[in-house]
């Protein structure tokens, strides 16, 4: 029975799983769980993941959620996956676990916290929260500095001094790609002080093409939509001022 991937391409860990499967020739059926329609809370999906989060996969009798756990499982269970994605070497593997764990409590809450609280919240049925966005921005900025000065070592193209991507590169880069829905000035303000991070995003994109761009089309569609809304807002501002 083919692997089933329950995902919404607007979710960054969902994108990581889909790109990983495509790059590694893993056959799968993609089932859309539309977060804007709150389908992750439907009884049908809660039978897959009772905690109501995407992505989730079903492989035979195994139902699994949490994207890092899924990436590790797929890399271990499917023989088509090359070793560099999740090395057998214990020390290399340990370092990948370390950066994935760090991601959970640093880059992820920083990036997702900033994007959700400053842009996406209304589309998820919540209010914008600028104080939470400011706190998340501090964590994001600190995390980007740790990536630039520690995790991206020397001249290597990928995390941990590697010249080939691992599941950690894919997971963390997909996290950062969500910054695309920000106003371009905000995105550049956050990212452009970190040249190695910018190069690493591009290296990971190139290493997973054409799938990387194809799977991010949904995100780029959202980026255009938000940008148009901002431009309409910008156009109306002078009008508002002229009324004052």
- CA–CA dist 129, 89 (Å, integer): 44
- CA–CA dist 66, 49 (Å, integer): 10
Binding segment toward a second copy, per CB under 8 A, in 105-113, 178-186, 199-207, 216-224: 105-113
Bridge partners (DSSP) of residue 64 are: 57
Nearer to a second copy, 34 or 149 (CB): 149
Nearer to a second copy, 33 or 168 (CB): 168
Among 34, 36, 37, 105, binds a second copy (CB under 8 A): 105
**Binders in 107-136 for a second copy, by CB under 8 A:** 108-109
Nearer to a second copy, 158 or 212 (CB): 158
- CA–CA dist 158, 201 (Å, integer): 9
With CA atoms as reference, report the closest residue to 162 among 56, 83, 44, 50.
83
Nearer to a second copy, 13 or 222 (CB): 13
182 token code pair? 């920000």
Q: How many residues bind a second copy (CB under 8 A)?
A: 31
With CA atoms as reference, report the closest residue to 169 among 199, 192, 193.
199
Nearer to a second copy, 150 or 220 (CB): 150
> 105-108: long-range contacts at Cβ-Cβ below 8 A with a sequence spacing of 24 or more?
106/139, 106/142, 106/143, 106/146, 107/140, 107/143, 107/144, 107/147, 107/172, 107/175, 107/176, 108/175
CB 144 → a second copy: shortest distance, Å?
14
CB 37 → a second copy: shortest distance, Å?
23
188 token code pair? 């550049």
Nearer to a second copy, 56 or 181 (CB): 56
Among 47, 83, 101, 184, binds a second copy (CB under 8 A): 101
Starting from the edge strand earliest in sequence, which strands make up the sheet with 62-65, in order?
28-32, 3-7, 56-59, 62-65
Our finding on whether 50 is near a second copy (CB under 8 A) is yes
- The binding site for a second copy (CB under 8 A) comprises 50-51, 61-62, 64-70, 72-73, 76-77, 90-91, 93-95, 97-98, 100-102, 104-105, 108-109, 146, 150
């Amino acid at each position: 029975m083919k692997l089933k991937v329950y995902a919404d391409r607007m979710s960054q860990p969902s994108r990581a799983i889909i790109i990983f499967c495509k790059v590694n020739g893993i056959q799968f059926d993609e089932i859309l769980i539309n977060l804007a329609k709150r389908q992750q809370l439907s009884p049908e999906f809660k039978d897959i993941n009772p905690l109501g989060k995407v992505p989730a996969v079903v492989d035979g009798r195994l139902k699994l959620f949490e994207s890092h756990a899924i990436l590790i499982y797929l890399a271990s269970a499917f023989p088509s996956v090359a070793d560099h994605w999740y090395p057998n070497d214990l020390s290399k593997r340990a370092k990948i676990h370390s950066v994935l764990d760090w991601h959970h409590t640093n880059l992820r809450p920083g990036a997702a916290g900033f994007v959700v609280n400053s842009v996406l919240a209304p589309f998820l049925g919540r209010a914008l929260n600028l104080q939470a966005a400011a706190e998340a921005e501090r964590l994001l900025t600190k995390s980007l500095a740790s990536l630039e000065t520690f995790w991206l070592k020397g001249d290597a193209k990928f995390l941990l001094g590697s010249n080939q991507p691992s599941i950690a590169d894919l997971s963390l880069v997909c996290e950062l790609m969500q910054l695309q829905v920000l106003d371009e000035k905000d995105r550049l303000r956050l990212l452009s002080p970190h040249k190695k991070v910018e190069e690493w995003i591009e290296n990971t994109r190139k290493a997973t093409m054409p799938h990387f761009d194809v799977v991010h089309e949904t995100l780029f569609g959202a980026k255009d939509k938000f940008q148009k809304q901002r431009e309409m807002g910008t156009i109306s501002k002078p009008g508002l001022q002229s009324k004052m």
